[in-house]
C-alpha cells in the first residue's frame, strides 16, 4: 500500500526525516510513536504531499508520488486540531471531499448521513461547527476524512486534545471502526497507551529515524534500545557485562533470559521484575518513596550504590517508606538492550 | 457568483495591462511615431481649458477637408504649454492653440513647434506676427488686459473712474482695486507686465509699493477676483463684492451685457483704457505630430474668416485678421485700446521668474 | 507578487523617477547642486516650515476633537450610531475640492458665519485647520475607535478592583494598549495633512503654500522641474520616514492585547458625565462635519426663486456656456465607470499584494508593504506629469486612453485594499488550505473554497473603500481626465471655476449627489463590517 524508501526532509541543516524506510500493508493500522520533534508529523505531511522530500521516495500502491500534487494523491489526513471549515456546517464539512471528487448531490447526502451515523452523530448535519464539543469535532473531522474513501487514512494526534476518559473510549471505538471498514491507517501519536490500543504495528521514531518497529507486544516486551525503553517509561537502565545467563552491574549480579546477547550491554529491569527477598540475600536498598497506583504500589528504592531503582509491588507486599529492604531480580523481566545508544 | 466573475474579469484585465507594460518598459528611446494608416481622419487640437468654438464652425472645417477636429483641453494656459514642453517630440496632438506672448519664448526656446507659413497671413497686421522669420507660430486672436470699473459705484460717489496706472495709486482710489496673483493667473501676469513696461525695470517695484500702500487686494484667480470681489459684475453683486476696480479684460463689459437678463442698454462696467496690456494668442504645428498635413489645414482654418468671425463670442477676444467682422455686441459695448502696453516675448521669458518672485515678496509677504 | 510589483513599477515608480530625473538631469548630466541652492531659498524654507507646522497643528487639533469621538463610538450604544459612523467617514472620501467648497460655503464670503456674525475665515489658516479636522476625523475614529471597541473592559475593571481610580485605571491599562494605534492614526493624519493639496489651494489663497502646492506651482505653472524635483525628493524622504515609523507602530499595535467582540463592550451611557460626553461629541460632529455637508445640500436646492430642483434638472442639459461637451448626468456615469474599473484594478493588485505579503514575511516584503503606501503621500501632479512623459510610446501610449484615469485612481486605492486585506488574510490558517488540499481540492479550488468565503467580507469592504476613494480622487484625475468625459469631482471643480449662479448651483447639486453615493456605499460597508475586518480604516 504505502512504501517509503530513504525519505529525507531537511529544515536547514537539520534532518527532520532521515532516510526513513517504512511499509504499510493493506488494511493494516500502523501507529508512529515518538516524542514531539521526532519527525512523525513531517512523515505524514510528506506522504500527503504537503511537505516536499529532499531525498527518497513515497510510493502509494507501487506508484511513485514524486510530483503528484496533494489533491491527487487520494489519501486522507485528519489534522491534529481538526481544522474544520468554520464557515460550513457539519454536513458541509463532511461533504467537502465528496464535492471535490465530483460526487453527485443525492449520493453525497446519503454518504454524509451514513458517515455521521458511523461516527455516532446522526442528524447533526445542520449544526454549526463552532457549536460542537471537542469530541464531536473529532468525530466530524474523522467523518470528513473518511468520506471520500481514501486509500490511506492518516491521523495526526487524533485524540490529542481530548480528556483522558473520552480518549480511552474513542480509541477502542476507532479500532473497531477501522477493522469494520478495512481502512488502511497511518497514525502518529506521542501517547503510547493510544498507540498500543489502536495499532497492529507500532513504529517508534527518534530524531527523524525509526528506532523500532513491531507489534505493540513486541515493542513493549523487548524495547530495542535505551531510547525506546525510556520513551516507554522504563527508567531502570544500567550498563552491564553479560556473560552467559547473568550480567554484572552496579546493582550486583542480575539474571538474564536465555539467549541474550553477550558482552558490554545496557540492561533494562522492568519494575515488575524487582522482588523483596530475605534480609542479606539481595541488594540492600532504602525505600525512598512509595506511591499508591490503584492495582499496585510504585516504590522508589535507593541502593547503596548506583542509580535509583523503580519497583512495582502488589498491594500487600509493598514496604513502607523509610524501611530497609533487600531485593532480587526476575530474569523474565530483564531485557538486554541491543542498541548502542546509552 | 457575480463577484467571482468580476474578479476573474479584473484579473484578466490587470494581467493584460501589465503584460502591455512589460513590453513597453523596454523601449525608452523616443522614436518618432509615424502614422501607420495612410490618411488619418482626425486632427487633434490641443488647447487650454478656455478654448471654445461653435459646432457649426468646426463642422465647416470637416466639410472643407474631410477631417474631424478632436479638441483636447489640457489644463489652464500655462499648464497646457508646460505639458507640451514636457512631451516634446511625442505630443498629445497635432496643433497647439492658445500660447500667448507671455509664454511664447519658453515654447519657442524648447522647440516644440515646427515652421509652417499659413495661407492668408497677409490679412494679419505685421505687428502681431512675432515669429515673422520662421513662422513657427501664427497669431490667432488678441485681447487686452485692463482694469475694469463699476460704473454705478463711481457715479454714486461722484468720482471719476481711474484711467491710467498712475491713477490707481492715488489716495482717491484707496482700497478699491483687486488684482490676480501673476503666478497663478494670466490676467494677473499681464497686468504686472504692463506695469513693468510702463515704469521700467527700476521703477515698477516702487509703483507696486505705492499700490500696496493704497490697499490693493490679491486673489488667486480671475474667477475669484471678477465674480466674488468685484462689485460691478453680476456675480460680484450677488456675492456682495466690495471692490469697484478689478483687473480683467477689455472685452468684459460686452460679456456682462451678453449674460444679463434682460440685456441692459449700457454696460454696467467700464474699461480704464490707460491700464491695458496686450495679449496675443498663437497656434503652432507640434513637432512630432501624427497628422502634420491635417494640422496645417487646421491652422489655415483658424485664421479663416469663418473661424475669426466666430472667435469674439466664443472666447471673448478680438480677431486678428483685418477682414473679420466684429459682432454688434462688441462694437456697441466694447472699447478699442489704441495704446496698450506691450513687451518683447524674449524679455518676458528672461525676466518673468525674477519679476514674479520680486512681486511675491513685495506684495504677498 | 509579480503583478503588484509590475503595476507599482510601471504606473508609479517609472513615471515619478522619470519626472524627477528630468528635473535633476536636464541635459544628460546630474545637477545635484540644486539641492543646496533650493533648500536655502527663503521662500522654500517658508513653504517647508508652513507645511510642517500646519500639519502638526492639524494633527493635534484632529486628535483633540476626534479622540473623544473614538471613545464614544467605541464604548457607547446610541440610536443612529451606525449611520453616524458612515456619515463621519464621508468627508474622508470626498474630493478635497469639495471639502474646500463646503468650508467656503460655511466660513467664506456669504457663508453661514458671514451671514450670521460677519465672520470670515477664508484665506486664513483656521479654515485650513478646520477643513483638515473635517477631512481626517474618520481616520482617528476608525483606527483608534476600532481597537478601543475591542479592548476588554474587564481589564480596566480588574485595575479598579485592585484599587486604581477611574482615571488611573484608564491611564495605566487602556492608554498603553491604545497608544500605538493613536500614534498610527496621528501619523496617517500627519501624512494626509502634510500632503494636502486641494484644501490649501482653495482655502489658503495666494499667501499660503505647502510642499504639495509648491510642487504643483513649480511644475505646472513655472516648469521649474529642478526645484520641483528637489521638493519631490524632500517629500519622498519625509513620507518614507513617516511610513517607516507608521509600519513599526502598526506592528507593535496588537501584540499581546486581549481583544473581545466589539458588540460586547458598548453599552448605553450612564450618568450625567457620560451623557454630557456623548452630547459634546455629537455636537462637535454636528458642527464640524454635518454643518459643512449640510450647507452643500442646502445650497444645491437654493435657487434664486426659493428652494427647488432647478440645479438638478440643469444637470441633464448640455451647458450653454460650453463648459462641458456632455450633460452633467453623464459625468456621474463616467465617474461610476472609472471608479468601478479602478476598483477592479485596485482590488486585484492590492489583493494579490496582500496575499503575497501574507505568504512571505521578510524584511524585503515588509519594505514593499510600506512602498505600496507611498502613492498616498506623493504629489499627484508629480505622478500626473510622470504619466505624461513616460506612457507616451506604443504599446503603452495610454495618455489618450480612458484607462489612465482608473489607473491613477487605483494607485490611491491599492494602499487601502492592502491595509484592509492583510490582517484578515493573515488570520486564515494555512492548515485549512492543507485540509482542503488533502480532501482533493486543487490550489485554486482551495483558495475559492477556503480563503474566499473567509475573506469575502473583507474583500467587499476593501472594494467598497477603493471604490469610494476612486470616486473622490481629485488631484491626479483633474490632471489627466479628458474634458469630454470628466469625473464628478473634476466637473465640480470646473463648474466652480466658472462664474454664475447656475454653475455654482450645479456644482453644489453634483457635490450632493457624490456625497450621497459615498454615504450610501459607506453605509453598506458598515453593515458588512465585522470584527475580523476592522483593519485600519
Q: pLDDT per residue over C169-190, tens digit each?
A: 778 778 877 887 888 888 888 9
- When pLDDT is cut at 50, 70 and 90, the band that residue C320 belongs to is very low
Q: Alpha-carbon distance C429 to C438, whole Å?
A: 15
Q: Alpha-carbon distance A240 to A242, whole Å?
A: 6
pLDDT at C258: 54
pLDDT at C37: 78
pLDDT at A172: 87
Q: Which of residues 133-172 of B touch C (CB under 8 A)?
A: none
Residues above pLDDT 90, as percent of chain C: 5
Which of A256-270, B32-46, B59-73, C218-232 is predicted least confidently?
B32-46
pLDDT at B26: 33
pLDDT at C396: 64
- When pLDDT is cut at 50, 70 and 90, the band that residue B216 belongs to is very high
Least Cα separation, residue C126 to chain B (angstroms): 18
Considering only CB atoms, which chain C residues are within 8 Å of B106?
223
- Length of chain A measured in residues: 342
Cell numbers given for A79: 489534522
- Length of chain C measured in residues: 537
Least Cα separation, residue C82 to chain A (angstroms): 26
Q: Enumerate chain C positions whose Cβ falls within 8 A of a Cβ in A.
A: 429, 431-432, 434-443, 445-446, 449-450, 453-454
Cell numbers given for C453: 468565503
pTM of the model: 0.73
Higher pLDDT, C425 or C28: C425
Considering only CB atoms, which chain C residues are within 8 Å of B233?
499
Q: Provide φ and ψ at A56, rounded to 5°.
A: 80, -175
Judge whether residue C493 has pLDDT over 60: yes
Judge whether residue C144 has pLDDT over 80: yes
Question: Which of B106, B38, B117, B115 minimizes the C-alpha distance to B78?
Answer: B106
Least Cα separation, residue C155 to chain A (angstroms): 26
pLDDT at B156: 95
B82·C501 Cβ contact <8 A: no
C109·B240 Cβ contact <8 A: yes
pLDDT at C155: 75
B/C touch flag: 3 or more CB pairs below 8 Å? yes
- When pLDDT is cut at 50, 70 and 90, the band that residue C251 belongs to is low
Q: What is the average pLDDT score of chain C?
A: 79
Which of A295-309, B290-304, C309-323 is predicted least confidently?
C309-323
pLDDT at C417: 86
Q: Average the pLDDT over C314-325 and give the result.
A: 58
- Condensed to tens digits (0 to 9), the pLDDT of residues C65-76 reads 999 888 888 888
Residue with cell 519658453: B106
pLDDT at B1: 36
Considering only CB atoms, which chain A residues are within 8 Å of C449?
85, 96
pLDDT at A244: 86
CA A282 distance to own-chain centroid: 36
pLDDT at C61: 94
Domain B144-278+338-363 falls under CATH 3.40.190.10: yes
Cell numbers given for C44: 522654500
CATH architecture classification, B6-143+280-329: 3-Layer(aba) Sandwich (3.40)
The alpha-helical segments, DSSP class H, found in chain B are: 2-26, 55-65, 77-86, 104-109, 151-156, 165-168, 186-213, 222-224, 234-238, 252-259, 292-302, 305-315, 328-333, 345-359
Supply the DSSP symbol for A188.
Answer: E
B233·C499 Cβ contact <8 A: yes
Residue with cell 512495582: A312
- When pLDDT is cut at 50, 70 and 90, the band that residue B340 belongs to is very high
C396·B364 Cβ contact <8 A: no
Q: Give the E-state strand segments of C71-208 in sequence order.
A: none
C438·A101 Cβ contact <8 A: no
By C-alpha distance, the chain C residue nearest A77 is C438
Q: What counts of helices (H) and strands (E) characterise chain A? A: 8, 20
Domain residue ranges of chain B, discontinuous segments joined by +: 6-143+280-329, 144-278+338-363
pLDDT at A90: 93
Most confident of A230-234, B210-214, C398-402: B210-214
Residues 6+ apart with CB under 8 A from B80: B46, B47, B48, B49, B73, B74, B96, B98
Supply the DSSP symbol for B160.
Answer: P
- When pLDDT is cut at 50, 70 and 90, the band that residue C257 belongs to is low
pLDDT at B137: 94
Q: Alpha-carbon distance A21 to A5, whole Å?
A: 5
- Condensed to tens digits (0 to 9), the pLDDT of residues B351-362 reads 988 898 899 889
The alpha-helical segments, DSSP class H, found in C362-450 are: 363-377, 380-390, 404-426, 430-438, 443-446
Category of C209 on φ-ψ map: left (φ > 0), alpha (ψ -120 to 50) or beta: beta
Tell me the β-bridge partners of A17. A9
pLDDT at A38: 86
Residues 6+ apart with CB under 8 A from A120: A139, A173
- When pLDDT is cut at 50, 70 and 90, the band that residue B89 belongs to is confident
The alpha-helical segments, DSSP class H, found in chain A are: 40-48, 90-100, 105-118, 134-146, 164-181, 192-198, 216-221, 226-231
Residue with cell 504505502: A2
pLDDT at B18: 40
- When pLDDT is cut at 50, 70 and 90, the band that residue C531 belongs to is very low
- Length of chain B measured in residues: 365
By C-alpha distance, the chain B residue nearest C18 is B28
pLDDT at B158: 94
Category of C109 on φ-ψ map: left (φ > 0), alpha (ψ -120 to 50) or beta: beta
Supply the DSSP symbol for A332.
Answer: G
pLDDT at B5: 39
Q: Average the pLDDT over B118-145 and give the result.
A: 91
Higher pLDDT, C414 or C256: C414
Q: Alpha-carbon distance B133 to B143, whole Å?
A: 24
pLDDT at B249: 93
Judge whether residue B161 has pLDDT over 90: yes
Which of A284-293, C251-260, C334-343 is predicted least confidently?
C251-260
Higher pLDDT, A85 or C96: A85
Which subunits sit against B, judged by 3+ Cβ pairs under 8 A?
Answer: C
Radius of gyration over every alpha carbon of chain C, rounded to an integer in angstroms: 24
Q: What is the average pLDDT score of chain B?
A: 85
Residue with cell 473497531: A176
A86·C445 Cβ contact <8 A: no
* pLDDT in 10s for each residue of chain A, 342 residues: 899 999 999 988 888 999 999 999 999 999 999 988 888 889 999 999 888 899 999 999 999 998 888 888 889 999 888 888 888 889 999 999 898 888 888 999 999 999 999 888 898 889 988 888 888 888 899 999 999 899 999 999 888 767 777 788 888 888 998 998 899 999 999 888 889 989 999 999 999 999 999 999 999 888 988 899 999 888 899 999 998 888 999 898 899 988 888 888 899 999 988 988 888 888 889 999 988 888 889 999 999 888 899 999 888 878 888 889 999 999 888 998 875 544
Cell numbers given for C27: 541635459
pLDDT at B320: 93
Element at B147 (helix H, strand E):
strand B137-150
pLDDT at C508: 84
Higher pLDDT, C88 or B294: B294
pLDDT at A5: 93
C37 touches chain B (CB under 8 A): no
Question: Which of A110, A77, A79 minimizes the C-alpha distance to A95?
Answer: A110
Residues above pLDDT 70, as percent of chain C: 86
- When pLDDT is cut at 50, 70 and 90, the band that residue B27 belongs to is very low
The alpha-helical segments, DSSP class H, found in C76-94 are: 81-93
Most confident of A120-124, B110-114, C387-391: B110-114
pLDDT at C289: 85
Which subunits sit against C, judged by 3+ Cβ pairs under 8 A?
Answer: A, B
ipTM over 0.95: no
Residues above pLDDT 90, as percent of chain B: 50
Amino acid at each position: 500500500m504505502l512504501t517509503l524508501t530513504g525519505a529525507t526532509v531537511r529544515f536547514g541543516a537539520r534532518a527532520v526525516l532521515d532516510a526513513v524506510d517504512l511499509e504499510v500493508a493493506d488494511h493494516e493500522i500502523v501507529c508512529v510513536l515518538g516524542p514531539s520533534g521526532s519527525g512523525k508529523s513531517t512523515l505524514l505531511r510528506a506522504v500527503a504531499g504537503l511537505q516536499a522530500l529532499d531525498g527518497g521516495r513515497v510510493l502509494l500502491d507501487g506508484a511513485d508520488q514524486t510530483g503528484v500534487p496533494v489533491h491527487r494523491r487520494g489519501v486522507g489526513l485528519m489534522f491534529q486540531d481538526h481544522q474544520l471549515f468554520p464557515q460550513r456546517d457539519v454536513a458541509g464539512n463532511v461533504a467537502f471531499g465528496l464535492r471535490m471528487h465530483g460526487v453527485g448531490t443525492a449520493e453525497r447526502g446519503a454518504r454524509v448521513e451514513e458517515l455521521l451515523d458511523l461516527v455516532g452523530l446522526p442528524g447533526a448535519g445542520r449544526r454549526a461547527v463552532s457549536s460542537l464539543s471537542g469530541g464531536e469535532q473529532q468525530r466530524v473531522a474523522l467523518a470528513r476524512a473518511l468520506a471520500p474513501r481514501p486509500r490511506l487514512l492518516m491521523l495526526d494526534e487524533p485524540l490529542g486534545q481530548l480528556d483522558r476518559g473520552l480518549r480511552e473510549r474513542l480509541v477502542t471505538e476507532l479500532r473497531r471502526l477501522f477493522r469494520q471498514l478495512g481502512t488502511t491507517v497511518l497514525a502518529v501519536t506521542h501517547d503510547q497507551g493510544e498507540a498500543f490500543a489502536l495499532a497492529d504495528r507500532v513504529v517508534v521514531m527518534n530524531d527523524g529515524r525509526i528506532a523500532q518497529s513491531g507489534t505493540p507486544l513486541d515493542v513493549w516486551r523487548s524495547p530495542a534500545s535505551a531510547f525506546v525503553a525510556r520513551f516507554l517509561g522504563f527508567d531502570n537502565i544500567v550498563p552491564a557485562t553479560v556473560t552467559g545467563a547473568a550480567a554484572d552491574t552496579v546493582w550486583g549480579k542480575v539474571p538474564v533470559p536465555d539467549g541474550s546477547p553477550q558482552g558490554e550491554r545496557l540492561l533494562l529491569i522492568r519494575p515488575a521484575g524487582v522482588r523483596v527477598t530475605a534480609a542479606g540475600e539481595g541488594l540492600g536498598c532504602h525505600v525512598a518513596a512509595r506511591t499508591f497506583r490503584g492495582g499496585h504500589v510504585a516504590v522508589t528504592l535507593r541502593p547503596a550504590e548506583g542509580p535509583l531503582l523503580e519497583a512495582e509491588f502488589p498491594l500487600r507486599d509493598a514496604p513502607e517508606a523509610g524501611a530497609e529492604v533487600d531485593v532480587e531480580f526476575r530474569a523474565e523481566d530483564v531485557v538486554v538492550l541491543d542498541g548502542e545508544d546509552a | 457568483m457575480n463577484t467571482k466573475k468580476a474578479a476573474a474579469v479584473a484579473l484578466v484585465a490587470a494581467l493584460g495591462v501589465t503584460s502591455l507594460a512589460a513590453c513597453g518598459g523596454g523601449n525608452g528611446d523616443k522614436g518618432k511615431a509615424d502614422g501607420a494608416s495612410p490618411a488619418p481622419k482626425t486632427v487633434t487640437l490641443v488647447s487650454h481649458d478656455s478654448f471654445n468654438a461653435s459646432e457649426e464652425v468646426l463642422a465647416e472645417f470637416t466639410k472643407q477637408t474631410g477631417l474631424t477636429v478632436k479638441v483636447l483641453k489640457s489644463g489652464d494656459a500655462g499648464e497646457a504649454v508646460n505639458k507640451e514642453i514636457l512631451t516634446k517630440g511625442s505630443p498629445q496632438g497635432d496643433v497647439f492653440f492658445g500660447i500667448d506672448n507671455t509664454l511664447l519664448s519658453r515654447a519657442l526656446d524648447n522647440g516644440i513647434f515646427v515652421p509652417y507659413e499659413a495661407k492668408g497671413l497677409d490679412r494679419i497686421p505685421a505687428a502681431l506676427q512675432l515669429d515673422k522669420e520662421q513662422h513657427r507660430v501664427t497669431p490667432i486672436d488678441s485681447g487686452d488686459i485692463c482694469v475694469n470699473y463699476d460704473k454705478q459705484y463711481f457715479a454714486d460717489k461722484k468720482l471719476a473712474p481711474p484711467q491710467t496706472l498712475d491713477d490707481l495709486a492715488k489716495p482717491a482710489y484707496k482700497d478699491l482695486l483687486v488684482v490676480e496673483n501673476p503666478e497663478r493667473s494670466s490676467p494677473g501676469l499681464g497686468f504686472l507686465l504692463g506695469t513693468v513696461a510702463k515704469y521700467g525695470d527700476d521703477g515698477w517695484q516702487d509703483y507696486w509699493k505705492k499700490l500696496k500702500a493704497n490697499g490693493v487686494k490679491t486673489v488667486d484667480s480671475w474667477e475669484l477676483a471678477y465674480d466674488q470681489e468685484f462689485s460691478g459684475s453680476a456675480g460680484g453683486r450677488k456675492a456682495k463684492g466690495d471692490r469697484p476696480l478689478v483687473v480683467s479684460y477689455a472685452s468684459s463689459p460686452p460679456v456682462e451685457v451678453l449674460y444679463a437678463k434682460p440685456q441692459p442698454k449700457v454696460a454696467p462696467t467700464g474699461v480704464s483704457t490707460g491700464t491695458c496690456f496686450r495679449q496675443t494668442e498663437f497656434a503652432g504645428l507640434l513637432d512630432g505630430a501624427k497628422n502634420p498635413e491635417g494640422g496645417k489645414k487646421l491652422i489655415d482654418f483658424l485664421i479663416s474668416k469663418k473661424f475669426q468671425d466666430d472667435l469674439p463670442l466664443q472666447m471673448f477676444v478680438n480677431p486678428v485678421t483685418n477682414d473679420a467682422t466684429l459682432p454688434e455686441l462688441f462694437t456697441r459695448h466694447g472699447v478699442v485700446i489704441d495704446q496698450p502696453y506691450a513687451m518683447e516675448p524674449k524679455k518676458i521669458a528672461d525676466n518673468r521668474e525674477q519679476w514674479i518672485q520680486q512681486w511675491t515678496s513685495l506684495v504677498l509677504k | 507578487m509579480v503583478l503588484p510589483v509590475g503595476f507599482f513599477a510601471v504606473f508609479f515608480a517609472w513615471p515619478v523617477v522619470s519626472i524627477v530625473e528630468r528635473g535633476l538631469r536636464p541635459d544628460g548630466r546630474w545637477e545635484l547642486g540644486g539641492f543646496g541652492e533650493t533648500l536655502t531659498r527663503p521662500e522654500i524654507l517658508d513653504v517647508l516650515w508652513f507645511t510642517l507646522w500646519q500639519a502638526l497643528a492639524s494633527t493635534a487639533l484632529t486628535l483633540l476633537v476626534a479622540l473623544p469621538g473614538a471613545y464614544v463610538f467605541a464604548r457607547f450604544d446610541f440610536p443612529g450610531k451606525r449611520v453616524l459612523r458612515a456619515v463621519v467617514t464621508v468627508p474622508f472620501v470626498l474630493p478635497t475640492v469639495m471639502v474646500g467648497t463646503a468650508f467656503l460655503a460655511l466660513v467664506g464670503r456669504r457663508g453661514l458665519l458671514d451671514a450670521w456674525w460677519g465672520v470670515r475665515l477664508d484665506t486664513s489658516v483656521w479654515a485650513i485647520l478646520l477643513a483638515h479636522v473635517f477631512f481626517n476625523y474618520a481616520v482617528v475614529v476608525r483606527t483608534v475607535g476600532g481597537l478601543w471597541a475591542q479592548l476588554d473592559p474587564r481589564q480596566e475593571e480588574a485595575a479598579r478592583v485592585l484599587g486604581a481610580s477611574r482615571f488611573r485605571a484608564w491611564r495605566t491599562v487602556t492608554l498603553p494598549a491604545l497608544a500605538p494605534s493613536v500614534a498610527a492614526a496621528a501619523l496617517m493624519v500627519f501624512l494626509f495633512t502634510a500632503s494636502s493639496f486641494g484644501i490649501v489651494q482653495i482655502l489658503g489663497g495666494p499667501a499660503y503654500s505647502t510642499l504639495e502646492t509648491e510642487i504643483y506651482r513649480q511644475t505646472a505653472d513655472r516648469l521649474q522641474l529642478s526645484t520641483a524635483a528637489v521638493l519631490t525628493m524632500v517629500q519622498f524622504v519625509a513620507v518614507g520616514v513617516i511610513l517607516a515609523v507608521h509600519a513599526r507602530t502598526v506592528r507593535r499595535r496588537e501584540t499581546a492585547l486581549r481583544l473581545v467582540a466589539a458588540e460586547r463592550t458598548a453599552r448605553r451611557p450612564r450618568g450625567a458625565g457620560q451623557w454630557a460626553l456623548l452630547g459634546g461629541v455629537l455636537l462637535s460632529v454636528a458642527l464640524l462635519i454635518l454643518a459643512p455637508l449640510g450647507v452643500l445640500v442646502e445650497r444645491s436646492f437654493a435657487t434664486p426663486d426659493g428652494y427647488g430642483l432647478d440645479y438638478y434638472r440643469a444637470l441633464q442639459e448640455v451647458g450653454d456656456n460650453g463648459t462641458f461637451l456632455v450633460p452633467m448626468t453623464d459625468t456621474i456615469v463616467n465617474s461610476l465607470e472609472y471608479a468601478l474599473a479602478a476598483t477592479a484594478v485596485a482590488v486585484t493588485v492590492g489583493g494579490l499584494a496582500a496575499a503575497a505579503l501574507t505568504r512571505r514575511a521578510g524584511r524585503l516584503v515588509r519594505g514593499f508593504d510600506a512602498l505600496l503606501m507611498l502613492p498616498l503621500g506623493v504629489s499627484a501632479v508629480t505622478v500626473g506629469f510622470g504619466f505624461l512623459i513616460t506612457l507616451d510610446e506604443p504599446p503603452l501610449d495610454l495618455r489618450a486612453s480612458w484607462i489612465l484615469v482608473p489607473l491613477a485612481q487605483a494607485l490611491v486605492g491599492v494602499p487601502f485594499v492592502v491595509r484592509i486585506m492583510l490582517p484578515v488574510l493573515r488570520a486564515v490558517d494555512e492548515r485549512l488550505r492543507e485540509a482542503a488540499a488533502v480532501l482533493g481540492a486543487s490550489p485554486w479550488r482551495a483558495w475559492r473554497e477556503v480563503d474566499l468565503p473567509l475573506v469575502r467580507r473583507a474583500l467587499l469592504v476593501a472594494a467598497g473603500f477603493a471604490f469610494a476613494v476612486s470616486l473622490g480622487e481629485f488631484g491626479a484625475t483633474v490632471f489627466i481626465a479628458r474634458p469630454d468625459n470628466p469625473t464628478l469631482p473634476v466637473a465640480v471643480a470646473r463648474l466652480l471655476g466658472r462664474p454664475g449662479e447656475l454653475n455654482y448651483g450645479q456644482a453644489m447639486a453634483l457635490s450632493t449627489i457624490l456625497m450621497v453615493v459615498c454615504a450610501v456605499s459607506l453605509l453598506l460597508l458598515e453593515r458588512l463590517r465585522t470584527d475580523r475586518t476592522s483593519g485600519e480604516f
